[in-house]
Amino acid sequence: MKFEVKPYGENALFLEFGNEISETIHLQVKHVYKELRLQAHLGIVSVIPSYCGLTVMFEPKKISKYEVVNICQELSEKKADQNKSYNRIIIPVCYNELFALDNFEVLEHTALSWKEIIEIHSDPEYIVYMLGFVPGFLYLGGMNSRIIIPRKETPRLIVPKGAVAIGGNQTGVYPIEIPGGWRIIGKTPINLMSEKIGDRIEMGDRVKFEPISLKEFKSFKGTLKRELIEY
């Protein structure tokens, strides 16, 4: 797949593979991202993935912009391994009204029952397209269009840690207490900022939300469930 190269300062480039959120583009970005992370010895400092592209930071003393582009082009043209796999991450979510701070607005906008909203939201296997705008914030794609709802006109000054929310056609989890304008529909007891390697979620993983009761939420002492899926 071809990409467009855009300058991003003296020691960085942005590679744009398209301008839409799609699984096809995501898989190409994921492939180049994973391969580039193995090129540190050549002068690649860091690789930051997004929905449709990659920001590649490099050491100018070790490698030139032209060499970086050539490497990326070779990786882009190289076929991904036939043995494809991904991590499926199970995140428990309590959709109780105690945590669903925007349930009234969501109910009114979608004209669905709360049971339907829970079923629709927890049914897909969401692709982790990227992590931003603060460390650990998951941008997930693949949400059902029936529960799309605009962001709040006036963002909250404080969104609780672990809040599960919808913003437009995306859903995500707030890893820490921060301001935010997405519609909150539940909360997870999982600490997404855990330092345990087994609890880390990365771009390319897939997330499945698992509804739990308020009682289960209060007594929860587990960790993320992780499954390796090959296809």
Query: Which of 77, 107, 141 is the endpoint of a domain?
Result: 77
Do 144 and 178 lie in one domain? The reply is yes
Residue 43 amino acid letter: G
Instruction: At 132, list the tokens.
Output: 């931003």
pLDDT grade for 82, boundaries at 50, 70 and 90: very low
pLDDT at 171: 93
- Range with the largest mean pLDDT of 4-13, 111-120, 217-226: 111-120
Do 47 and 97 lie in one domain? The reply is no
Question: Which run of H or of E encompasses 185?
Answer: strand 183-187
pLDDT at 81: 54
pLDDT grade for 78, boundaries at 50, 70 and 90: confident
- The arithmetic mean of pLDDT across residues 10-29, rounded, is 89
Query: Which of 77, 112, 140 is the endpoint of a domain?
Result: 77
Q: Which residues contact 138 (CB under 8 A, 6 or more apart)?
A: 128, 131, 172, 173, 175, 192, 201, 207
Mind listing the pLDDT tens digit for each residue in 146-188? 999 999 999 999 999 999 999 999 999 999 999 999 999 999 9
| Range(s) of the domain holding residue 119 | 85-230
Do 112 and 151 lie in one domain? The reply is yes
pLDDT grade for 196, boundaries at 50, 70 and 90: low
What percent of the chain shows pLDDT beyond 90?
Answer: 61
Q: What is the CATH number of the domain that holds 201?
A: 2.40.100.10
Radius of gyration over every alpha carbon of the chain, rounded to an integer in angstroms: 19
The count of domains in the chain is: 2
pLDDT grade for 134, boundaries at 50, 70 and 90: confident
Strands 163-167 and 183-187: antiparallel
Do 106 and 194 lie in one domain? The reply is yes
Q: What is the CATH number of the domain that holds 29?
A: 3.30.1360.40
Identify any residues that bridge with 231 across adjacent strands, giving them in sequence order: none
Do 72 and 105 lie in one domain? The reply is no
Query: Which of 23, 53, 77 is the endpoint of a domain?
Result: 77
Q: What is the pTM of this model?
A: 0.85
- The arithmetic mean of pLDDT across residues 191-205, rounded, is 77
pLDDT grade for 1, boundaries at 50, 70 and 90: low
CA distance 127 to 206: 5
- The arithmetic mean of pLDDT across residues 62-80, rounded, is 86
Do 48 and 111 lie in one domain? The reply is no
Do 138 and 37 lie in one domain? The reply is no
